[in-house]
């Protein structure tokens, strides 16, 4: 009887140990599964973050390309506008209001034909006088005297179609003396519209030096 009870106890103990081992295996399997799930989750998260970074880089890259393209287009248009500037000057009937005046100090090289607008000018000093020839009309000037270039109409266009300036203008030249084969004048350009200095200078040839005053 005692032996039988010991056998039953032994079988119960073995069964308990077996159950414990089975539970341990199940727990280990569960932990392994959790580790695998965590690893897979981490991998997916890493892939997602990497994809997000790549998308951001692509977005920034595309944005940079667009910005560079816009800047390049603006530069090209600006250069094209500058290179295609065209000045057309024609005669007009005088009498229009010319309320705007821009003043320059200018020098004319003596004996060299100069064109302002469509007027041809040549100056040459003789003793204390200056012989000024404007469109074939010669006059002698002494220091302080003034000559006028008759009223004209100037139209400046760019890109062949875009009008930047359309104004009547008249020029007064006040003789200031000469030295080193240069005749000095105060030039007053009167216009019917307000004209930016950059455009107004398109009327002045490169042979003369001009400074705003």
Looking at residue 169, its pLDDT comes to 94
Whole-number Å distance between alpha carbons of 204 and 213 = 15
Looking at the DSSP assignment, which residues form a beta bridge with residue 152? Answer: 91, 169
pTM over 0.75: no
Give the strands of the sheet with 146-158, arranged side by side. Answer: 86-91, 146-158, 162-179, 182-191, 100-109, 209-212
Q: How would residue 165 be classed by pLDDT, with cut points 50, 70 and 90?
A: confident
Summarize pLDDT for 179-208 with one digit per residue, the tens. Answer: 889 999 999 999 999 999 988 988 899 899
Percentage, residues of the chain above pLDDT 90:
42
* Nearest alpha carbon to residue 116 among 180, 188, 176, 175: 188
CA angle at residue 151 from 150 to 157, to 5 degrees?
A: 130
Identify which of 172, 166, 163 has the alpha carbon closest to the alpha carbon of residue 90. 166
DSSP per-residue string spanning 179-191: ETTEEEEEEEEEE
Contacts with 136 (C-beta within 8 Å, 6 or more apart), sequence order: 120
What span, in angstroms and rounded, lies between the C-alpha atoms of 30 and 37?
A: 10
Is-contact 79 159, C-beta < 8 A?
no
pLDDT given for residue 6 in this prediction: 55
DSSP state of 204: S
CA 183 – CA 142 distance, rounded (Å)? 11
Pairing of strands 119-126, 114-116: antiparallel
User: Domain coordinates of the chain in residue numbers?
Assistant: 1-83, 86-212
49-83 pLDDT, tens digit each? 777 777 666 656 677 788 888 888 888 877 766 67
Tens digit of pLDDT for each residue in 76-135? 877 766 677 788 899 887 777 999 999 999 999 999 999 998 899 999 998 889 999 999
Percent helix, strand, coil in the chain, to 5, is 40, 40, 20
């Amino acid at each position: 009887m005692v032996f039988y009870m010991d056998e039953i106890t032994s079988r119960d103990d073995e069964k308990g140990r077996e159950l414990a081992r089975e539970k341990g295996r199940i727990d280990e399997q569960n932990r392994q599964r959790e580790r695998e799930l965590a690893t897979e989750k981490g991998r997916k998260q890493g892939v997602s973050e990497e994809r997000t970074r790549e998308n951001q880089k692509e977005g920034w890259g595309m944005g940079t390309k667009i910005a560079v393209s816009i800047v390049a287009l603006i530069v090209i248009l600006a250069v094209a506008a500058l290179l295609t500037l065209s000045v057309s000057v024609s005669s007009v009937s005088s009498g229009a209001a010319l309320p705007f005046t821009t003043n320059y100090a200018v020098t004319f090289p003596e004996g060299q034909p100069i064109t302002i607008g469509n007027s041809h000018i040549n100056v040459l000093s003789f003793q204390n006088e200056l012989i000024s020839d404007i469109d074939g009309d010669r006059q002698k000037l002494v220091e302080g005297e003034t000559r006028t270039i008759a009223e004209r109409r100037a139209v400046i266009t760019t890109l062949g179609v875009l009008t930047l300036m359309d104004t009547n203008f008249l020029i007064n030249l006040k003789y200031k003396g000469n030295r080193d084969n240069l005749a000095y004048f105060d030039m007053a350009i009167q216009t019917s519209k307000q004209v930016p200095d950059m455009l107004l200078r398109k009327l002045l040839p490169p042979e003369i030096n001009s400074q705003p005053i």
